C-alpha cells in the first residue's frame, strides 16, 4: 500500500497539483499507512477510516492556481460546486464544500461524493479500490474548478456588460490574482517526432511516447485522454482508465472487423476513434482535455437555447479557429460523441467537443496532431484573455 | 411504505396453506431487501438440513424492483445449499421479482414438504397451492407449456426432483438461480413451479429524484466500453469475455491443468453473434439487454458456460456447447458445476469425453442414472472424495470454480477462498478491477491491498443483491448513484456508506450462520493445484503458481479487515456492533 501511496504522491507533485509537503495520503489494507504518520492531519484523517468503508484517503492543499481558485469559488458560503464540464457531469456530479478538516464532516461529504472541498483549505478525496481513485478525484476536482472559475467569471462579466453594470471589484481582484498564478503560456519544442510507425513494435512505441508527451505538457487532466493508431487491420488504442504516461502494458490491439472482443478494456472512446478513422482515413488520433480549449468550447450562450442541454443536443454549427465544436456525451449513446465527432471530422483534422476536449487526427504520425493540440490550446487561451480584456 | 409492499407470503406446503403476513418491521432498514431479507429470514434455521420441512426457501425482491431504476428487475432466492451446506443465495434475472412485487409481495417464504408435486400460483395479492402431479417427471420447457399463461414463473426440471446437488431453479425459461443446488431444495419440497402475476404499481417516494438518479446512471452506462461499447456486454452478452480472458491467459482449461485454450475463438462472442444471428433480450427494467437469443430461439450461454463446456472440457464444438446449455436449462442444472464436475470426471478417468458423450453424461447426471450419472450428481467434490482424489475437485467449500483461473488474478484467488457460498466469482467480483480496469485497474498478479478491496466489494455486492440491481452496472456506475435511486424510491436517506454498512451486516450474518454449521478458516482455501502447478505462460505473461505464504498472509489480512477472529469467524462483539445480536 505504501508503494501505491508514494506513486500517486509523486504524480501529484509532477503534475503541479500539490506540493509534497501539503499532501496527506493514507491507505488501509490490514494496517493503516500514511505518508506522514506522526502529524496531526493524519490522526484526524485516520479517524475517517473508522467511519467509512474505504481503503484510501487523500487530503492536500492544492498548488496554485488551484488553491486560489477553490478559495475564490467557495468564499461566498457555497455548499457545493456544480461545474458543468463533461468530467463533473459524468463522474463527480458535484463537489460538496465543508468547513473543517474534521473526520465527521469528511465522512458526511464523502459518503455521497468522490471528492469534497474544505473551504479555504484544500480538497479531500477517497478510494474504495485503490489510492488511484483518490488521486483521480482530486485531480478532476482541480480541473473542474479551474474550468468553472474561468467560465463563470466570463459569463458574469458578460452579464454585467449586457446590463451596463461595472464588474465588481472582488471579481476583478480575484481574476487578476489567479491569472498571475497561471503557468506561463510557452510552447516548447515538439517532443513527438514526425516518424511513421512501420512495424507493430513501432506503433506501440509511438503511442507510449505520445502519451508521455501529452501528460508532460499538461494537455490532459489527471492523465486521461486517449490515443490510437491504425496499423494493418487493427486499431491500437490506450486502455480505459490508463495513465497516458504509463502505457507500456496498457494498449489494446482491436481488430477493425470486430472479430475479437478482447478490446472490451479499450478506451471508452474506441467507437469515436474507429469512426474518425473510417470518416477520414487518418491513422493517428489523439484526444485530450486542454483546459482553455474546454473553457472556450463552453463559451456559447446563444439566446433562445436551453443551456442545460446544449452539451448533448446542440446541432447549431459553431467553430473555434475553424475547428467545429460539437455536442456529445462520452460513449455510444444516442447523444454520444461516437456519433457526433466522426461526422464532424469528415474533411478535417480536428473536432472540439463541448465541455470535454479535442479530438485530432493525423495522416500517419502523431507529431502533427500533437502540434495542433498545443496550438489550439494556445489560441484558445489567447482568445479567452482577449475577450476578458474587452469585458474588464 | 415506499419501495416495499410490506407484505410477505408464507406458504406451508405440508398443510397446503398460504398466509399473508406483514414483512417484519425493521427488516427493510437493516437488510434492505432481496438477499438481505432472505438471509435475515433464514436466520438460525440454517441449522436444519436442506431437505428438512423446517428449512425455508425464500424468494425476495428489493426496493428498486419494479421501479424506473436501471437493472432493477432482479430478485433473490435463499436457502441452505445441498451442495456446500452454506447459506446460499442466488441473484436471478428475468421478470419474477417485478411480477412478485406487482402482485403485492416483498417475499415468499416456503416451508414444509408437500405430499406430492404441487404448484404455487400467486396473482394480485392471492395465492394458492395446487396439486400438480401431472408435472412430475417433466422438464422445464414442457412444464412451462403446461402451466402457460402470462406473468412470470420459476420452475425446476427433473434434476431438481431427483435431488441433483447442483440443480437450479429456472425463471422465465432461461434465467437461472443457478448455483448451489437451490433447485434441489425446491425439489425436496415437491414444489414444481411457482407462477406469479401482478398488475399493481410500486409506490415511489419521489419520481423526479428517481429520474435524476436514472439519468446519472444511464450517462455512466453509456460511457462504459464494457457495457455499451461496441465490444461490450450489450453487443455480445457475457461471451464478450471469452477473447479477453483468453488474451490474459487465465481461462481454465482441462480441469484447470492449463490456462490457455487454443480454440477459444470458436465460441467467442463474435462467433456466437454471427453464427446464431443473435438478438438482444434481457431482464425486466434493464437497458443493457445482455441476454442473447439466436434467430431460431437458441439461448446463447453465458461466458462461464461456454468456457467451461469449451476449454475446461477440451471441447471446441460450439453446437455441443449450445446444446449442453440447453440441456442444463431444461433439466434445471447449474452449468458451471455440471461442466466442472464433468472435467473432474475426465481427469479422474484419464479420458476426455467427446461432445456426444458429454451430452449423454449431462442427461445421466440429471436423471441420476446408476453409474457415473448418480455419482456425478453429487458434485465434483463428493465424487472425487469417494474416489479418494478430492484434490481434483476444483472447488471451494464444494462449489465448483467459475471460468477465471485464480493464478491469473490474485484478488480472485482470495475472493474464491473466502466467499461465504464457496467458489464464486460474484461475491467480490475482482475481475472488475483486475481485468476490466473498473473503477480503476489493480495489479492482477499481486495481493497488495487486495484484502480490504475484497472486503469492501463483498459488502457492496451484498447490498447490490439486496436493493436489487445487476452487478454488471457497477462496471460503470457506483453506489453513489444507486444510493440516490434508493433514497428516491424509499424516502429514506441513504448514501454510499450507509449502503455499504448494510452490505457488511448481510455479509457478516451469512458468515455467522455458516459458522453455526461449523465453517471456519479451514474451509477458506483453494485446491492444491493452484499452489503447485504453473498455468500456461507465454513470453509476455507468466502465470506462476500462487505463493502459499503470500496467499495465507492475504487471507489473514482479510480476516483483520473484516474484524474476524483468527479462525475466520466473527465474534459476538462484531455481531452486536452490526446490530446482529439477535442471531447470537
Output the pLDDT for position A305: 84
Q: How far is the C-alpha of B122 from the C-alpha of B102, rounded, in Å?
A: 11
Output the pLDDT for position A307: 84
Partners of residue A1 in chain B, C-beta under 8 Å: 448-449
Give the mean pLDDT of B264-278. 96
Q: pLDDT digit string (tens) for B478-528?
A: 999 999 999 999 999 999 999 999 999 999 999 999 999 999 999 999 999
**B242: contact with A, CB 8 A cutoff:** yes
Output the pLDDT for position A13: 95
Output the pLDDT for position A306: 85
Domains in chain A: boundaries: 2-153, 200-391
Three-class DSSP category at B89 = strand
Percentage of chain A with pLDDT > 90?
Answer: 79
Output the pLDDT for position B549: 98
For residues B390 and B241, is the Cβ–Cβ distance under 8 A? no
Give the mean pLDDT of A362-391. 95
A347 φ/ψ angles, rounded to the nearest 5 degrees: 80, 5
Confidence of residue A187 (pLDDT cuts 50, 70, 90): low
Taking the CA of residue B558 and the nearest CA in chain A, the distance in Å comes to 7
**A87: contact with B, CB 8 A cutoff:** no
Q: Which residue has the cell 510552447?
A: A187
Partners of residue A260 in chain B, C-beta under 8 Å: 243, 265, 268, 270
Q: How far is the C-alpha of B317 from the C-alpha of B413, rounded, in Å?
A: 29
Domain A200-391: assigned CATH number: 3.40.225.10
pLDDT(B457) > 90: yes
User: pTM here?
Assistant: 0.96
Chain mean position to CA A268: 15
User: B223, B409, B506, B556: best mutation site toward chain A, by most A Cβ within 10 Å?
Assistant: B223
Would you say the C-alpha torsion B320, B325, B330, B331 has a positive or negative sign? positive
pLDDT(B387) > 70: yes
Query: Quick one: which of B526, B505, B474, B522 has its CA closest to B570?
Result: B505
Least-confidence region, from B52-61, B180-189, B270-279, B281-290: B281-290
Output the pLDDT for position B149: 77
Arithmetic mean of pLDDT over chain B: 97
Taking the CA of residue A238 and the nearest CA in chain B, the distance in Å comes to 12
Q: How far is the C-alpha of A17 from the C-alpha of A3, rounded, in Å?
A: 19
- CB-based contact A264 B231, cutoff 8 Å: yes
A 122-161 residues inside an 8 A Cβ radius of B: 127-130, 132-133, 136
For residue B396, the cross-strand partners are B399
Give the mean pLDDT of A191-211. 94
Output the pLDDT for position A89: 86
Taking the CA of residue A1 and the nearest CA in chain B, the distance in Å comes to 6
Three-class DSSP category at B80 = strand
Least-confidence region, from A295-309, B156-170, B399-413: A295-309
Q: Which one is the CATH code of B7-197: 1.10.340.30, 3.60.9.10, 2.60.40.10, 3.30.70.141?
A: 3.60.9.10
From the CB of residue B564, how many other CB atoms can be counted at a distance below 10 Å? Answer: 22
Tell me the three-class secondary structure of chain A, residue by residue: CHHHHHHHHHHHHHCCCEEEEEEEEEEECCCEEECCCCCHHHHHHHHHHHHCCCCEEEEEEECCCHHHHHHHHHCCCCCEECCCCHHHHHHHCCEEEECCCCHHHHHHHHCCCCEEEECCCEEEEEECCCHHHHHHHHHHHHHHHHHHHHHHHHHHHHHHHHCCCCCCHHHHHHHHHHHHCCCCCCCCCCCCCCCCCCCHHHHHHHHHHHHHHHHHCCCCCCCCCEEEEEECCEEEEEECCCCCCCCCCCEEEEECCCCCCHHHHECCCHHHHHHHHHHHCCCEEEEECCHHHHHHHCCCCCCCCCCCCHHHHCCCCCEECCEEEECCECCCCCCEHHHHHHHHHCCCCEEEECCCEEEEEECCCCHHHHHHHHHHHHHHHHHHHHHHHHHC
**A113: contact with B, CB 8 A cutoff:** yes
Q: Residue A53 corresponds to which cell in the numbers above?
A: 468503508
pLDDT(A254) > 90: yes
Q: pLDDT digit string (tens) for B537-562?
A: 999 899 999 999 999 999 999 999 99
Confidence of residue A308 (pLDDT cuts 50, 70, 90): confident
From the CB of residue A182, how many other CB atoms can be counted at a distance below 10 Å? Answer: 15
- CB-based contact A1 B450, cutoff 8 Å: no
Give the mean pLDDT of A27-36. 94
**B480: contact with A, CB 8 A cutoff:** yes
Least-confidence region, from B14-28, B329-343, B393-407: B14-28
**A265: contact with B, CB 8 A cutoff:** yes
Q: How far is the C-alpha of A338 from the C-alpha of A323, rounded, in Å?
A: 17
For residues A244 and A211, is the Cβ–Cβ distance under 8 A? yes
A124 φ/ψ angles, rounded to the nearest 5 degrees: -125, 140
DSSP conformational letter for B44: G
Q: Which of B228, B244, B433 sits opposite A331 (nearest CB)?
A: B228
**Interaxial angle between packed helices B496-516 and B479-490, expressed in degrees from 0 to 180 and rounded to the nearest 10:** 90
Fold of A2-153: L-fuculose-1-phosphate Aldolase (3.40.225)
Confidence of residue A295 (pLDDT cuts 50, 70, 90): very high
Q: How far is the C-alpha of B402 from the C-alpha of A307, rounded, in Å?
A: 49
Confidence of residue A1 (pLDDT cuts 50, 70, 90): confident
**B225: contact with A, CB 8 A cutoff:** yes
Output the pLDDT for position B344: 98
> Are A2-153 and A200-391 the same fold in CATH?
yes
- CB-based contact B243 A329, cutoff 8 Å: no
Nearest CA in chain A to B248: A262
E strand spans, B13-81: 17-22, 57-60, 75-80
Interface ipTM > 0.90: yes
Give the mean pLDDT of B339-347. 98
* B222 Cβ contact partners less than 8 Å away, ≥ 6 residues apart: A329, A330, A331, A332, A333, A336, B228
Q: Which of B231, B450, B496 sits opposite A261 (nearest CB)?
A: B231
pLDDT(A191) > 80: yes
- CB-based contact B437 A336, cutoff 8 Å: no
Three-class DSSP category at B376 = helix
Q: pLDDT digit string (tens) for A69-85?
A: 999 999 999 999 998 88
Output the pLDDT for position A222: 66
Amino acid at each position: 500500500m505504501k508503494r501505491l501511496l508514494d506513486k500517486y504522491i509523486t504524480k501529484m507533485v509532477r503534475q503541479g497539483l500539490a506540493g509534497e509537503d501539503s499532501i496527506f495520503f493514507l491507505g488501509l489494507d490490514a494496517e493503516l499507512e500514511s505518508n506522514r504518520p506522526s502529524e496531526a492531519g493524519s490522526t484526524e484523517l485516520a479517524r475517517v477510516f473508522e467511519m467509512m468503508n474505504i481503503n484510501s484517503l487523500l487530503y492536500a492543499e492544492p498548488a496554485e492556481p488551484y488553491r486560489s481558485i477553490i478559495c475564490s469559488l467557495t468564499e461566498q458560503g457555497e455548499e457545493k460546486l456544480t461545474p458543468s464540464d463533461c468530467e463533473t457531469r459524468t463522474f463527480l456530479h458535484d463537489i460538496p464544500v465543508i468547513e473543517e478538516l474534521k473526520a465527521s464532516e469528511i465522512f458526511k461529504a464523502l459518503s455521497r461524493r468522490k471528492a469534497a472541498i474544505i473551504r479555504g483549505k484544500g480538497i479531500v478525496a477517497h478510494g474504495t479500490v485503490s489510492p488511484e481513485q483518490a488521486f483521480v478525484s482530486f485531480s478532476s476536482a482541480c480541473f473542474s474548478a479551474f474550468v468553472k472559475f474561468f467560465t463563470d467569471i466570463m459569463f458574469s462579466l458578460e452579464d454585467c456588460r449586457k446590463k451596463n453594470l461595472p464588474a465588481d471589484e472582488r471579481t476583478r481582484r480575484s481574476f487578476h490574482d489567479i491569472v498571475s498564478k497561471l503557468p506561463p503560456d510557452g510552447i516548447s519544442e515538439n517532443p513527438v517526432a514526425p516518424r511513421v510507425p512501420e512495424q507493430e513494435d513501432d506503433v506501440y512505441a509511438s503511442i507510449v511516447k505520445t502519451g508521455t508527451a501529452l501528460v508532460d505538457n499538461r494537455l490532459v487532466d489527471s492523465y486521461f485522454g486517449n490515443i490510437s493508431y491504425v496499423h494493418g487491420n487493427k486499431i491500437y488504442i490506450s486502455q480505459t482508465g490508463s495513465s497516458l504516461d504509463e502505457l507500456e502494458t496498457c494498449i489494446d490491439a482491436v481488430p477493425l472487423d470486430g472479430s475479437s472482443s478482447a478490446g472490451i478494456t479499450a478506451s471508452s472512446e474506441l467507437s469515436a476513434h474507429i469512426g474518425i478513422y473510417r470518416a477520414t482515413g487518418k491513422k493517428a488520433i489523439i484526444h485530450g482535455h486542454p483546459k482553455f480549449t474546454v473553457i472556450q468550447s463552453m463559451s456559447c450562450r446563444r439566446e433562445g437555447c436551453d443551456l442545460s442541454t446544449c452539451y448533448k443536443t446542440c446541432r447549431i454549427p459553431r467553430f473555434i479557429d475553424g475547428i467545429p465544436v460539437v455536442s456529445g456525451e462520452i460513449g455510444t449513446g444516442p447523444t454520444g460523441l461516437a456519433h457526433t465527432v466522426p461526422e464532424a471530422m469528415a474533411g478535417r483534422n480536428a473536432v472540439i467537443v463541448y465541455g470535454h476536449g479535442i479530438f485530432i487526427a493525423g495522416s500517419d504520425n502523431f507529431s502533427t496532431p500533437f502540434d495542433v493540440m498545443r496550438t489550439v490550446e494556445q489560441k484558445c487561451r489567447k482568445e479567452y484573455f482577449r475577450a476578458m480584456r474587452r469585458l474588464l | 411504505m415506499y419501495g416495499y409492499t410490506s407484505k410477505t407470503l408464507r406458504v406451508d406446503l405440508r398443510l397446503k396453506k398460504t398466509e399473508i403476513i406483514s414483512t417484519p418491521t425493521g427488516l427493510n432498514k437493516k437488510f434492505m431487501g432481496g438477499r438481505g431479507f432472505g438471509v435475515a429470514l433464514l436466520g438460525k434455521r440454517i441449522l436444519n438440513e436442506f431437505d428438512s420441512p423446517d428449512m425455508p426457501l425464500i424468494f425476495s425482491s428489493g426496493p428498486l424492483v419494479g421501479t424506473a431504476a436501471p437493472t432493477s428487475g432482479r430478485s433473490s432466492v435463499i436457502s441452505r445449499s445441498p451442495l456446500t451446506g452454506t447459506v446460499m443465495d442466488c441473484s436471478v434475472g428475468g421478470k419474477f421479482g417485478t411480477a412478485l412485487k406487482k402482485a403485492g409481495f416483498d417475499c415468499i417464504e416456503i416451508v414444509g414438504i408437500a405430499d406430492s408435486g404441487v404448484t404455487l400460483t400467486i396473482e394480485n395479492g392471492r395465492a394458492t397451492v395446487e396439486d400438480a402431479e401431472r408435472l412430475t417427471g417433466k422438464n422445464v420447457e414442457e412444464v412451462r407449456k403446461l402451466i402457460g399463461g402470462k406473468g412470470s414463473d420459476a420452475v425446476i426440471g427433473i434434476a431438481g426432483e431427483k435431488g441433483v446437488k447442483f440443480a437450479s431453479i429456472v425463471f422465465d425459461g432461461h434465467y437461472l438461480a443457478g448455483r448451489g443446488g437451490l433447485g434441489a431444495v425446491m425439489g425436496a419440497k415437491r414444489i414444481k413451479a411457482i407462477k406469479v402475476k401482478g398488475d399493481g404499481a410500486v409506490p415511489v417516494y419521489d419520481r423526479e429524484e428517481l429520474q435524476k438518479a436514472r439519468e446519472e446512471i444511464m450517462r455512466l452506462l453509456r460511457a462504459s466500453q464494457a457495457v455499451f461499447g461496441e465490444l461490450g456486454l450489450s453487443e455480445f452478452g457475457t461471451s464478450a469475455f471469452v477473447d479477453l480472458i483468453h488474451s490474459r491467459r487465465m481461462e481454465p482449461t482441462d480441469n484447470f491443468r492449463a490456462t490457455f485454450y487454443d480454440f477459444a475463438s470458436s465460441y467467442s462472442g463474435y462467433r456466437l453473434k454471427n453464427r446464431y444471428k443473435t438478438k438482444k433480450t434481457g431482464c425486466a427494467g434493464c437497458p443493457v439487454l445482455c441476454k442473447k437469443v439466436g434467430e431460431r430461439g437458441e439461448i446463447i450461454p453465458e461466458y462461464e458456460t461456454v468456457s467451461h463446456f469449451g476449454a475446461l472440457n477440451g471441447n471446441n464444438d460450439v453446437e455441443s456447447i449450445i446444446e449442453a446449455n440447453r440441456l442444463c436449462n431444461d433439466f434445471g442444472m447449474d452449468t458451471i458445476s455440471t461442466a466442472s464436475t464433468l472435467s473432474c470426471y475426465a481427469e479422474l478417468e484419464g479420458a476426455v469425453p467427446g461432445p456426444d458423450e458429454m451430452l449423454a453424461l449431462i442427461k445421466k447426471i440429471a436423471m441420476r442414472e446408476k453409474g457415473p450419472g448418480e455419482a456425478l450428481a453429487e458434485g465434483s467434490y463428493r465424487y472425487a472424495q469417494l474416489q479418494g482424489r478430492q484434490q481434483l475437485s476444483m472447488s471451494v467449500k464444494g462449489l465448483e470454480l467459475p471460468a477465471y483461473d485464480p493464478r491469473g488474478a490474485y484478488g480472485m484467488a482470495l475472493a474464491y477462498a473466502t466467499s461465504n457460498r464457496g467458489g464464486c466469482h460474484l461475491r467480490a467480483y475482482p475481475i472488475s478491477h483486475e481485468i476490466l480496469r473498473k473503477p480503476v485497474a489493480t495489479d492482477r498478479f499481486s495481493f497488495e491491498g487486495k484484502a480490504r478491496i475484497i472486503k469492501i466489494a463483498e459488502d457492496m455486492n451484498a447490498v447490490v443483491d439486496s436493493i436489487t440491481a445487476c452487478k454488471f452496472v457497477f462496471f460503470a456506475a457506483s453506489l453513489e448513484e444507486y444510493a440516490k435511486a434508493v433514497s428516491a424510491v424509499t424516502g429514506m436517506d441513504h448514501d454510499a456508506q450507509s449502503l455499504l454498512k448494510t452490505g457488511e451486516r448481510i455479509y457478516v450474518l451469512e458468515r455467522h450462520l455458516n459458522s453455526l454449521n461449523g465453517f471456519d478458516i479451514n474451509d477458506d482455501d483453494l485446491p492444491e493445484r493452484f499452489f503447485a502447478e504453473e498455468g500456461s505462460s507465454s513470453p509476455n505473461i507468466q502465470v506462476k503458481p500462487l505463493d502459499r505464504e503470500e496467499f495465507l498472509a492475504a487471507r489473514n489480512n482479510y480476516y483483520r479487515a473484516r474484524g474476524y477472529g483468527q479462525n475466520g469467524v466473527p465474534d459476538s462483539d462484531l455481531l452486536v456492533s452490526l446490530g446482529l445480536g439477535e442471531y447470537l
